[in-house]
A and B are shown apart, each in its own frame.
Chain A
Amino acid sequence: MPTIYIDNKPYEVKAGKNLLEASLSLGFDLPYFCWHPAMGSVGACRQCAIKIFKDEKDTNGKIVMSCMESVKDGLRMSITDSTAQAFRAQIIEWLMTNHPHDCPVCDEGGSCHLQDMTVMTGHDYRRFQFKKRTHINQYLGPLIHHEMNRCIQCYRCVRFYRDYAGGDDLNVFGAHHHVYFGREKDGVLQSPFSGNLAEVCPTGVFTDKTLKKHYTRKWDLTAAPSVCHHCSLGCNIIAGERYGKVRCVVNRYNSSVNGYFLCDKGRYGYEFVNSVNRITEPLIRTLPVEAVDEATLMNHLKDLVTLYPLIGIGSPRASVESNFALMQLVGKENFYQGVSGDTAYLEGRMTDLLQQGTVHSVSLKEIESADAVLVLGEDIWHTAPVMALAVRQSVMKTAAAQATQQNSLAAWHDAAIKELVQEQKGFLANITILSSPLDSISTIAMRNNPDNIARLGFAIAHLLNAGIPAVTSLTEKEMHAAKHIADALLHAQRPVVITGNSCCNEALVKAAFNIVQSLSTPQRKAGISFVFPECNSMGAALMRASSFEAAAERVRTDNNCTAIVLENDLYRHVPAAKADAFLSQCKNLVVMDGLHNRTTEKAHVLIPAATFAEADGTLVNNEGRAQHFYQVFMPVNTHIKESWRWLGEMKTMQAKASNGLQQHPDEWLAKLEITLPQFASIAKVMPPRHFRINGQAIPREPHRYSGRTAMYANLGVSEPKPLQDDDSPLTYTMEGYAGIPPSSMIPYFWAPGWNSGQAVNKYQHEIGAALREENSGICLFASKTGALQFFKDSPEAFVPRPGKHLLLPQYQLFGSGEWSMYSEAISELVPEAAIILSKKDAADLGAVNGTLIIIEKNDFQYRLPLVIHDELCSGIVLASAGFHGMPALPWGSWVKLNV
């Protein structure tokens, strides 16, 4: 490790870093704007100036930008040098010549990097006496608010939006002191990562437009570490609340998962918590007055859970704790997964393969650092957005590594690397049903149907491993692609293969598994990633329960059951006829959920369940990583409780005593470990609820929280007692441990002098690396050695069937989420639901774009307008999946189409 001297003191620093990163890692406060830990340096803002000296005798030194100089053994630098300090203050004065100083009305105020840096440099007096330049703001859609006058021209926005995230509709225009950051003309930002602009921009130019509608300063938020519930990746988030409403979601850094960025669904999907469609009170629909108090409810439930055989329907979007609590209540053999048999089967398959331990399930971070990626079938842009962003980084980083092999450029030297790399890309093969924005960075982008994609996968596996049978009758193009891909994977050190269950095709999973298992050697760290449909699909699948169909069969033969449906709209998982039949055959139907839906309508007893924001819980993401989310706020409405709490109370009634029963997440998890060994070590995902640091709990409210005594003065002048959180080491107070909490319990990033989110620097032991004492989740799969088994059953080539089409789901980032749709902003961005056919198939039906097409299977019918996609294979029909109000269609089966 090189030693550098900072203001004459020696420090050991990591090689390959720049002086800014080194200084920040050492804990120095050095201001910056244009550098970003995930995006490197470009040297534009000149804010990070320091002095370096030739040797000990050199007292003059020269000013350099710390972000643009590599650490070198023996290097001498000064942060405190008066010239350097004056220059840094001057940079702020220059920036302030045009900055509007509208902090009081600026949404960034109080969590603003520009404010922080201004204070840090000491600049405080305005000498510029002339008019400021002004700009016209743009309408950028429902997610991002634009206020260009505040711009300090650090170029971070365009570097993130274009270079990092691959968007092309945001740019920099003009020159000199009129550079403008925006779109060519007003319009909705097209990138699904646009929300990150609010965090990347160090000022109030780009801010969260949904927050604006119910604005609260960072210092007034009650916040908690949470996990995104909108897809299976489990990105880490911080959600903030005030007055019982979730106000915003921001990124929570986790070096193994989402790093610095979220997708827009994750950032903006939170508003369902505040929805008018929430279930707010218990209902017993068999009573003349349906709304009941809790005592009545419990009394009623007591009979239902003690006098009847119980069955429980779990949920892929409910926490591990809640699913397990239900299993405990109804008994293992009476617990069913709340998904269709097909889904349960495929998810079980994927889970088994990972559990077997012969292939490595990769984290998002590992995907980012992969040096060759193969995507088989899964449309990750829509089903796992941040994974698509990670794949993009892999492509870019691999190209950079190749380009800088001869030309020893440091990894932080972003602009120079981009010059060298030009259009070169790392290896990515994106083999999917429909085109995707990833195609533009793909080495190979191919369209096919799932069976043929799986065949291609088997062919690749065969090329890697002769023990796997060859695939016959591939087209020349497929053969060529298979060779190219096999070759690229073989030459990679960290190849990754991605697939999932959105194609409803087991062969894809087998093919991906074959490839990765063939590639895995002690020298090559190959990895696999399976994308799952929901935030806890993996956690639910790991419980190894039977599917919905088994439950349906059960109530068909036993019509005396009490069924408890946990946070699950069955109509989204199984055809309406099946759901109807099941729900009507339950003697007693207890449904617990957060929002009203078609299933809750049928409930005999409806119980309001807490959403993620009102609950503690654990999710297992697609990788097999368990992560805990903490309650953000305690609802004033005491009817709303976590499902596991309701279920625990029912269990107590059933057992007639609470002795030894679980009441808190840590207890549920401990019990889970014992009950289901596949969850071994999951309890480590959170510290025990009594965990304290120096006897102190971790406050959800920052030290600057205001109005505690006044917030509810309109209701009563005495200050209410702080709410008591018995479930976690977090508290509902400002008081408590003031230092850096364990990484999985960070309610906000905040450090002296660092009020903005960039305070995250202070939480990392090395900039851009892991958080201090990082607990980045608990991986439930361990690698195991053993005899390697391969799948030998490559599917037959896809043959279209006369008069029929294979129906497959088409997911949309905005639209397919069950709950993100309740965010007004997201609902504005949802495309119209449609079915998609190839040109030929459309012509055969005599249909054109917009023609209403009827999908028919047995007596099921559904109608959607047609969109023709030329690249789609003939014989396949895609339909928008999971849209609001849309039932589950018979995915993966052959349907008849009519106009």
Chain B
Amino acid sequence: MERPLTKNIHAGRQPLSLKEYTTTGGYIALQQVLKNNTPQEVQQLVQKSNLKGRGGAGFNTGMKWSFVPMGADAPQPKYLIANADEMEPGTFKDRLLLEGNPHQLIEGMIIAAYAIQANISYVFLRWAYKKAARVLEQSIHEAYEAGWLGQNILGSGFSLNMHLHTGAGRYMCGEETALLNALEGKRATPRAKPPFPQVSGLFGKPTIVNNVETLCCVPHIVNNGAEWFQSLSYSEDSGTKIYGVSGKVNNPGAWELPIGVTMRELIEEHAGGMKKGYRLKGVLPGGASTDFLTEQHLDIKMDFKSVAAAGSRLGTGTMVVMDDATCPVGFVHNLQHFFAQESCGWCTPCREGLPWVEKILLSIEKGEGKQEDIDLLQMHTQLLGPGNTFCALAPGAMEPLQSAIKYFRDDFDRHIREQKCPY
């Protein structure tokens, strides 16, 4: 079983220096691309590899790049941005890559930038990732020193500058268009699409925003080919995925595994099963903004299609396990507290709806709930859907709520009936 992204990352060890990275085969892909491939060829290769975005939406990365205007008439400058905001509750996979092997990301970014002919790149980093910030700063510096960044890289005529930008700590900044606004120094509110960032992105210029993990896959695809990448997985989605498990399991953590491992394998083998005395009650398979699945779904494959078929989303692939000693109402309240607080305040349904939802959940949890409250919650889950709100934050927030009501309705009803939290 190959682990291209993490094979050189070892817990407790310092991040790979530039030297270590090159001795493990680093920057070969970049040299290869600059020497032998046109940007279009790189785009095609990545498209063929069927790499899908690891930031949550799962869009074909090569396809996304292909929307960028190319050629002499294309607006300049173009931008490539690594989305390292990672604030989805329960998600810590990008951190592993950032802290463990920063040059892998940098190389992926340079190749991606080359593929779209962008000359300026940013890493948009979560404010709280202090260590990653230090590591990245050092590594970007090294890359400049070594000539991997800067003017006329390896005499190819291609130039790229890279900047590290640390956010101010808002979940919203991870949404790619809000991220662009934040980078421009504006409020982190999202933008309407279309126009898509590929056409009018940062400072109104063509821009690609990709997740850290997505970009880290790129050098390996270049080195080993599209077929190899496809062959890594157990499913129709290509490659490996860094899966994570948190909750009351024996061995919480993150592991790089072929896409398509089952939920059961993840929880029972890699995470070591539930802690003694706890039973699995529900799982948020892809982070806090995905629908609950339950025990009955343990055997589904963790790929984009299968998780969707089961009624949830692969999301970031980092699951949160809820045990039977945790009150689902309290659990969901906690999530809604987060989402309500992180709402950017731009559109009415999210800004006004989420705090209402949060308050209702709290009152149910405190034993003050009324039967009508369930209707109100359900009304929100229906009306805060995609398209009704301006961006995907509120629809994401509704996913765990609607599925909690679906699977754990008894718990809600008991709270209301008994006017207390039974847990």
Q: Which residue of A lies closest to B362 (CB)?
A: A130
Q: Which residue of A lies closest to B355 (CB)?
A: A177
Q: Which residue of B lies closest to A41 (CB)?
A: B192
Residues in B whose Cβ lies below 8 Å from that of A406: 75
Q: Are B390 and A177 neighbours in the complex by a CB distance under 8 Å?
A: no
Q: Are A403 and B204 neighbours in the complex by a CB distance under 8 Å?
A: yes
Of the candidate stretches A45-53, A249-257, A587-595, the one touching chain B is: A45-53
Q: Which residue of B lies closest to A172 (CB)?
A: B187
Q: Which residue of A lies closest to B342 (CB)?
A: A176
Q: Are A416 and B191 neighbours in the complex by a CB distance under 8 Å?
A: yes
CB under 8 Å from chain B, chain A span 139-168: 152-153, 155
From the candidates A44, A68, A127, A419, name the one contacting B200 in the complex (CB within 8 A): A419
Residues in B whose Cβ lies below 8 Å from that of A670: none
Residues in B whose Cβ lies below 8 Å from that of A90: 349, 379, 383
Q: Are A46 and B170 neighbours in the complex by a CB distance under 8 Å?
A: no
Question: Is A873 at the interface (CB under 8 A from chain B)?
Answer: no
Q: Are B352 and A95 neighbours in the complex by a CB distance under 8 Å?
A: yes
Q: Which residue of B lies closest to A42 (CB)?
A: B192
Of the candidate stretches A366-374, A407-415, A447-455, the one touching chain B is: A407-415
From the candidates B194, B343, B349, name the one contacting A91 in the complex (CB within 8 A): B349
Q: Are A94 and B356 neighbours in the complex by a CB distance under 8 Å?
A: yes
Q: Are A95 and B191 neighbours in the complex by a CB distance under 8 Å?
A: no
Q: Are B347 and A44 neighbours in the complex by a CB distance under 8 Å?
A: yes
Alpha-carbon distance A128/B387, docked complex (angstroms) = 24
Instruction: Report the contact-size class of chain A (Cβ under 8 Å from the partner).
Output: 35 or more
Q: Say how far B353's CB is from chain A's closest CB, in angstroms.
A: 6
Question: Is B346 at the interface (CB under 8 A from chain A)?
Answer: yes
Beyond A46-B388, A63-B388, A419-B200, whether A409 also contacts B195 by CB under 8 A is yes
Q: Say how far B102's CB is from chain A's closest CB, in angstroms.
A: 31
Q: Say how far A128's CB is from chain B's closest CB, in angstroms.
A: 6
From the candidates A91, A175, A407, name the one contacting B199 in the complex (CB within 8 A): A407
From the candidates B172, B195, B203, B359, name the one contacting A416 in the complex (CB within 8 A): B195
Per-position 1/0 for B189-206, Cβ under 8 A of A: 001101100011001100
Question: Is B57 at the interface (CB under 8 A from chain A)?
Answer: no
Alpha-carbon distance A413/B200, docked complex (angstroms) = 13
Q: Are A153 and B195 neighbours in the complex by a CB distance under 8 Å?
A: no
From the candidates B75, B355, B379, name the one contacting A176 in the complex (CB within 8 A): B355
Q: Are B356 and A128 neighbours in the complex by a CB distance under 8 Å?
A: yes
Q: Say how far B70's CB is from chain A's closest CB, in angstroms.
A: 14
Per-position 1/0 for B351-372, Cβ under 8 A of A: 1111110010001000000001
Q: Are A176 and B347 neighbours in the complex by a CB distance under 8 Å?
A: no
Question: Is B326 at the interface (CB under 8 A from chain A)?
Answer: no
Beyond A43-B347, A178-B345, whether A64 also contacts B191 by CB under 8 A is no
Q: Are A177 and B195 neighbours in the complex by a CB distance under 8 Å?
A: no
Q: Say how far A763's CB is from chain B's closest CB, in angstroms.
A: 28
Alpha-carbon distance A90/B389, docked complex (angstroms) = 12
From the candidates A62, A152, A422, name the one contacting B203 in the complex (CB within 8 A): A422
Q: Are B345 and A174 neighbours in the complex by a CB distance under 8 Å?
A: yes
Q: Are B387 and A64 neighbours in the complex by a CB distance under 8 Å?
A: yes
Alpha-carbon distance A178/B345, docked complex (angstroms) = 8
Alpha-carbon distance A406/B74, docked complex (angstroms) = 10
Question: Is A678 at the interface (CB under 8 A from chain B)?
Answer: no
Alpha-carbon distance A68/B389, docked complex (angstroms) = 13
Beyond A97-B356, A153-B351, whether A176 also contacts B204 by CB under 8 A is no
Question: Is B231 at the interface (CB under 8 A from chain A)?
Answer: no
Question: Is A443 at the interface (CB under 8 A from chain B)?
Answer: no
Per-position 1/0 for B164-193, Cβ under 8 A of A: 000000101000000000000001000110
Q: Are B343 and A176 neighbours in the complex by a CB distance under 8 Å?
A: yes
Alpha-carbon distance A130/B342, docked complex (angstroms) = 20
Question: Is A421 at the interface (CB under 8 A from chain B)?
Answer: yes
Alpha-carbon distance A97/B359, docked complex (angstroms) = 12
Residues in A whose Cβ lies below 8 Å from that of B32: none
Q: Say how far B357's CB is from chain A's closest CB, in angstroms.
A: 11
Most central of A62, A130, A172 by chain B CB within 10 Å: A130
Residues in A whose Cβ lies below 8 Å from that of B75: 406
Q: Which residue of B lies closest to A423 (CB)?
A: B203
Q: Are B192 and A175 neighbours in the complex by a CB distance under 8 Å?
A: no
Q: Are A176 and B341 neighbours in the complex by a CB distance under 8 Å?
A: yes
Question: Is B340 at the interface (CB under 8 A from chain A)?
Answer: yes
CB under 8 Å from chain A, chain B span 60-94: 75
Question: Is B146 at the interface (CB under 8 A from chain A)?
Answer: no
Per-position 1/0 for B307-347, Cβ under 8 A of A: 00000000000000000000000000000000011111111
Residues in A whose Cβ lies below 8 Å from that of B187: 172
Q: Say how far B14's CB is from chain A's closest CB, in angstroms.
A: 37
Q: Which residue of B lies closest to A422 (CB)?
A: B204
Question: Is B128 at the interface (CB under 8 A from chain A)?
Answer: no
Question: Is A87 at the interface (CB under 8 A from chain B)?
Answer: yes
Question: Is A520 at the interface (CB under 8 A from chain B)?
Answer: no
Residues in A whose Cβ lies below 8 Å from that of B351: 94, 153, 176-177, 179
Q: Are A420 and B345 neighbours in the complex by a CB distance under 8 Å?
A: no
Q: Say how far A163's CB is from chain B's closest CB, in angstroms.
A: 12
Question: Is B348 at the interface (CB under 8 A from chain A)?
Answer: yes
Q: Say how far A253's CB is from chain B's closest CB, in angstroms.
A: 27
Beyond A175-B343, A177-B340, whether A45 also contacts B348 by CB under 8 A is yes
Question: Is A584 at the interface (CB under 8 A from chain B)?
Answer: no
21 contacts between A and B (CB under 8 A): A44-B346, A45-B348, A46-B348, A46-B349, A87-B383, A90-B379, A90-B383, A91-B349, A97-B352, A127-B376, A176-B341, A176-B342, A176-B343, A176-B351, A176-B354, A177-B352, A178-B345, A403-B204, A407-B199, A419-B191, A419-B195
9 A-B pairs with the lowest CB-CB distances in the bound complex, closest first? A94-B352, A179-B345, A176-B343, A420-B204, A130-B359, A422-B204, A420-B200, A175-B345, A176-B345
